[in-house]
Amino acid sequence: QCQLNGVWRNDQDSLMEISVLRDNGDFQGQYLTQVTLAGGCAQISPLRGAQQQLGEEGWPTFAFTVRWEKFSNATTAFVGQCFVDAGGKEILSTTWLLREAVGSLEEDWKATR
């Protein structure tokens, strides 16, 4: 069974730390991104999410948001599932959407990546 709490590193060398995982599946932590829209150095931002509670069988699904602080006007939502590979390594497989603030409805088309 996968355990979400702890430190995770992605393919871009960003780090995610889930420091609080409650019995009901809610969690929180921080995200240290190495990739910023404005360029520059790594930044830490808070994250909050929820894990689907499962019994002994199966791999848990989860979702969380990151509110980028101090360096971006964007928010990112992640959804995914935790797996354990044949070697016993825990893997998070995720999909994400990033939403930037834009100045008008006419610019809405370019706000989501």
In a domain, 71, yes or no: yes
- Domain containing 17 equals 6-110
Phi, psi of 105 (to 5 degrees): -60, -35
Instruction: Return the CA Rg of the chain.
Output: 15
Q: Quote the number of domains for the chain.
A: 1
In a domain, 58, yes or no: yes
In a domain, 42, yes or no: yes
pLDDT in tens, 52-83: 876 666 788 999 999 887 667 788 999 999 99
In a domain, 50, yes or no: yes
Give which of 23, 12, 16, 13 is closest to 80, Cα–Cα: 16
Phi, psi of 106 (to 5 degrees): -65, -25
Residue labelled with tokens 């019994």: 55
In a domain, 11, yes or no: yes
In a domain, 57, yes or no: yes
Q: What is the CATH number of the domain that holds 18?
A: 2.40.128.30
- pTM value is 0.82
Mean pLDDT of 30-40: 70
Of 4-8, 35-39, 89-93, 109-113, least confident by mean pLDDT is 35-39
In a domain, 87, yes or no: yes
In a domain, 1, yes or no: no
In this prediction, residue 35 has a pLDDT band, given cuts at 50, 70 and 90, of low
pLDDT at 2: 79
- Between 42 and 74, whose confidence is greater? 74
- Between 27 and 34, whose confidence is greater? 27
